[in-house]
Amino acid sequence: MRLSEYFLPTLKENPSEAQIASHRLMLRAGMIRQSSAGIYSWLPLGERVLKKISEIVRSEQNIAGAQEMLMPTIQPADIWKESGRYDAYGPELLRIRDRHNRDMLYGPTNEEQITEIIRSCVKSYRDLPKLLYHIQWKFRDEVRPRFGIMRGREFLMKDCYSFDFNYGAARRSYNKMFVAYLRTFARMGLTAIPMRAKSGPIGGDMSHEFIIMADTGESQVFCHADCFDYNVLEELVDYQSDLEPLVSRWTDLYAATDEQHDSSEFERSVPPDKRCEARGIEVGHIFYFGTKYSEAMGAFVSGPDGGRVTMEMGSYGIGVSRLVGAIIEANHDDDGIIWPDSVAPFRVGVVNLKPEDQKCNVLGGEVYEKLRTNGIDTLYEDREGRAGVKFANMDLIGLPWQLIIGPRGAAGGRVELKSRKTGQRDELSMEDAIKRVIA
């Protein structure tokens, strides 16, 4: 993409409404624009990151054996009346009435909708288990939307639902999602720690929140320092095998959110130097809640002996849009964002310091075409202007690589390659620089 054509409305000044780094940087880097409180438009650069994150989430859900579908954002109130949540949910639920005076709502989550589908279509225990997910916009009329897209009113969530025949099978589904979540966040370069959590308005009795440590996080958490040390990506995960040992390695270490924190257990569990008290951002939440919805909504199957068995359920959310902010909180410096490779909106920014110079212009165009034809997402700074402004802009939007073309090097076909993360600059031939970016 040529910057002379790209829609990237960056801001020089810090917007006064932004209290935390990710909000400030997303506005300054031209990723989002507020529409109304807690509701945002995603501009081209932001949309690219949202898509990259969704793709990682999707791929790990699929590997775990979940099947993608798409449910509507607007739901009929009837099914929420059946589950009892139409009254229980409170003012966070956006209630809507259509022209025929029917009560509708903008979904804050989809347990009722999926239960309604499964109860009508699944009749026998032989059709279980089922793991189904979608990636869809949600609306919650939060009392205090803040920190940009971190606590929005409209936000993008991946929500998966499991239906099983008995507790053992439901626990296997839960473990699959547990491992899928560890892998998903690791692929984004994040260490997300699973913490025992309260199950909240969704109800139930087994639940973990996945938390990324950050001083600006809204959750108070307590954990054993060894939680930080595992790398799940180093283990081959075979979802057909027993995941319990892998899951219990984490869950045996003390890690809990504020609501589930037990100080005496915490004190018994670890030498003092291993105990951390910190703040974090909740990026995912998994629940097992048994028959709470299936019972209320009549979702049952016939068992092996022909008798009725109420399905066991779980639900599993990931805050896809919140992750954009969380990743920035974990990866930035004073100059701007530092994208991890896997979620970067473009892999490389080609900075032409003097496009009006004939040699620079030819070399810049050549580098840009070579990268593009090799399938590398490339942003090309092809506009005239001061070098300092171009560098500041590139550092702000935080692409992993900057390939810099100036009049001195261009004459001999040489360019400079800078890593945004380490700041290291190397002078290389055009071919070698391209090879290194592709590698």
Q: Which does 347 bind (CB under 5 to 8 A by kind): Mg ion, ligand ATP, none?
A: none
The site for ligand ATP, by CB under 6 A, has a size of 16
The interface region with ligand ATP, picked from 151-159, 186-194, 288-296, 400-408 by CB under 6 A, is: 151-159
208 binds Mg ion (CB under 5 A): no
288 binds ligand ATP (CB under 6 A): no
The interface region with Mg ion, picked from 71-79, 108-116, 283-291, 426-434 by CB under 5 A, is: 283-291
**Footprint on residues 402-431 left by Mg ion (CB under 5 A):** none
Helix (H, G, I), strand (E, B) or coil at 233: helix
CA distance 321 to 150: 7
**Under a CB-based contact definition with an 8 Å cutoff, are residues 185 and 191 in contact?**
yes
Nearer to Mg ion, 151 or 285 (CB): 285
* Most distant CA pair in the chain, distance: 82
The interface region with ligand ATP, picked from 111-119, 270-278, 280-288, 343-351 by CB under 6 A, is: 280-288
Nearer to ligand ATP, 207 or 352 (CB): 207
91 binds ligand ATP (CB under 6 A): no
Task: Note every long-range contact of 381-388, with CB atoms under 8 Å and residues 24 or more positions apart, other chains counting.
Answer: 381/3, 381/349, 381/350, 381/351, 381/352, 382/2, 382/3, 382/4, 382/352, 382/355, 383/3, 383/4, 383/355, 384/355, 384/356, 387/353
Helix (H, G, I), strand (E, B) or coil at 433: helix
285 binds Mg ion (CB under 5 A): yes
Smallest distance from Mg ion to CB 66, Å? 19
Residue with the shortest CB distance to Mg ion = 285
Instruction: Enter the tokens of residue 13.
Output: 């000044």
Q: Which does 406 bind (CB under 5 to 8 A by kind): ligand ATP, Mg ion, none?
A: none
Alpha helix segments (H runs only) across 16-43: 21-28
Q: Which does 317 bind (CB under 5 to 8 A by kind): ligand ATP, Mg ion, none?
A: ligand ATP
Quote the crossing angle between the two packed helices 21-28 and 320-330, to the nearest 10°: 100
Quote the crossing angle between the two packed helices 167-187 and 44-63, to the nearest 10°: 140
Instruction: Enter the tokens of residue 97.
Output: 């009435």
Smallest distance from Mg ion to CB 4, Å? 44
152 binds ligand ATP (CB under 6 A): yes
CA distance 316 to 77: 22
Nearer to ligand ATP, 317 or 406 (CB): 317
β-strand 32-36 against 67-68: which pairing, if any?
A: unpaired
Nearer to Mg ion, 31 or 149 (CB): 149
Which residues have CB under 8 Å from 25's CB, separation 6+?
A: 328, 332, 336, 337, 396
**Under a CB-based contact definition with an 8 Å cutoff, are residues 338 and 332 in contact?**
yes
CA distance 39 to 33: 9
- Report which DSSP code applies to 13: S
Site string for ligand ATP, 304-323 (x = CB under 6 A): -------------x-x-xx-
**Footprint on residues 190-229 left by ligand ATP (CB under 6 A):** 200
282 binds ligand ATP (CB under 6 A): yes
Smallest distance from Mg ion to CB 282, Å? 6
User: Binding ligand ATP by CB under 6 A: which of 134, 151, 176, 420?
Assistant: 151
Nearer to ligand ATP, 182 or 379 (CB): 182
155 binds ligand ATP (CB under 6 A): yes
Smallest distance from ligand ATP to CB 321, Å? 6
User: Binding ligand ATP by CB under 6 A: which of 23, 140, 261, 390?
Assistant: 140
**Under a CB-based contact definition with an 8 Å cutoff, are residues 312 and 166 in contact?**
yes
Task: Please report, as ranges, the residues that interact with Mg ion according to CB under 5 A.
Answer: 285
Task: Please report, as ranges, the residues that interact with ligand ATP according to CB under 6 A.
Answer: 109, 140, 142, 151-152, 155, 157, 200, 282-285, 317, 319, 321-322
